Structure 1
């Protein structure tokens, strides 16, 4: 698994968070459409849920970046989008473009990545991750679900990290316009003791003296009320 770490783990350990989101969104999109083309009848709902999670993180990044850790992601997104569109929409069907990405030899792919990185595009880097993900099936004799479990683990790590890093003030600000899935995740993490941002403290004396009884008992919350039914 050392090769796995070297070829993929850099994308979450050595780059800023928003860069990781773009890289893995590109990789997930490419792998999903490639698998859909090759194994259409075998692509189970699990893969579609993971793709939906990828889409959700990009939705947050595009429309509500303040809820995610800060970075220069908006610059990367600005450069990545036109590069992806130019590659896939230049009179080429998307599925053909996806298959073409895996037909690019290593030397050419390295050149394309360098060309993309002269700006801040993450498109070809993401395609490189997708290519490696597809190679894992034969490299480690995985089945397709093992590969998608790895992709799911990556997205769940990024989702929970984002939920933990987002301040409660930002969560509350979004509630003015409707609840956000990221907020449900943050509340669930707090309920399970996975968040350091909530600490249980005793009631102030003034409330104890009047026998104050809170309406909401934290230890009796139903996880499904916190949004687990969305998953």
Structure 2
């Protein structure tokens, strides 16, 4: 399970002669993806969580309309209790929630709670994995401008820390510095939308999450990530899943197979008036 973390990237990405040359050649993105990616085992707890969430949600699918809602949800079910919205592009959702997850982690004093710690770890693992897909496997996600948003967000973070006189702080202090920024006014209302950075939008989201009790906060975060993982698996084209199998496979593809097994993948259609899944096989 590949991991790519934005805050770690901000703190470790320092200009050198090599990176300047790679930038000129247009290869720095590939270099960064390789250099700042690590791999971890997929924990048993994460497997159980994904399976249970998918199984629980399949119970609510009884007709075509409920299937449509399921296949298009990427966090809404987890957020309805707060009245929050994720009505933004999918790549923007990934970046927003990735940064907000890390900001909550670095500012939360309750992460050591034995009842919370496993879910904090699962949430961060899924968060870092989804960012890896955005940076290194964008073809497996729905079309968008994720890499442009990623670049603009990194640039704004570096400018922010540079203006603060701490170009390379540690992760904890860096998170607290970002959270210290006033978020009463939406960033787009201040700077317009020329920059696609989501740094301070994520700050606003993190502050909202930090208003919740710790256990509820991490329950919301982990379920949002499960929904986004399933959404990405469902929307990825089958030929891209097949392509990754030759290179060792992706967790995303395993989730896709699980959804197919449960009868809720894109390769299934719910016939109107029936709660029965119909398998669609297309000839290429």
Query: Which band: TM-score by shorter chain?
Result: 0.7 to 0.9
Residue 150 of structure 1 corresponds to which residue in structure 2? 220
Judge conservation of contact 1:76–1:122 (CA < 8 Å) in 2: yes
- Give 5+ residue unaligned stretches, structure 1: 138-142, 203-231
Residue 26 of structure 1 corresponds to which residue in structure 2? 99
Judge conservation of contact 2:100–2:205 (CA < 8 Å) in 1: yes
1:120 is the counterpart of 2:196: yes
Instruction: Give the total of aligned pairs.
Output: 188
Among 174, 178, 181, the alignment partner of 2:251 is: 181
- In structure 2, distance between residues paired with 1:33 and 1:201: 46
Q: Which whole-Å deviations, capped at 9, do the CAs of 1:9-30 have from their partners, x for residues lacking one?
A: 1xx22x1111111111111111
- Range 83-92 or range 189-198, more displaced: 83-92
- In structure 1, distance between residues paired with 2:169 and 2:280: 60
Higher helix content, 1 or 2: 1
Between structure 1 and structure 2, the one with the greater Rg is: 1
- Give 5+ residue unaligned stretches, structure 2: 1-78, 269-277
- In structure 2, distance between residues paired with 1:92 and 1:160: 34
1:99 is the counterpart of 2:176: yes
Shift of 1:47: 0.5
Higher relative contact order (CA 8 A, sep 6+): 2
Tell me the TM-score normalized by structure 2: 0.60
Residue 132 of structure 2 corresponds to which residue in structure 1? 59
Q: Which whole-Å deviations, capped at 9, do the CAs of 1:106-140 have from their partners, x for residues lacking one?
A: 45x645873384411011111110111001x2xxx
- In structure 2, distance between residues paired with 1:184 and 1:116: 40
Shift of 1:97: 2.8
- In structure 2, distance between residues paired with 1:64 and 1:201: 26
What is the alpha-carbon root mean square deviation over aligned residues? 2.6
1:77 is the counterpart of 2:153: no
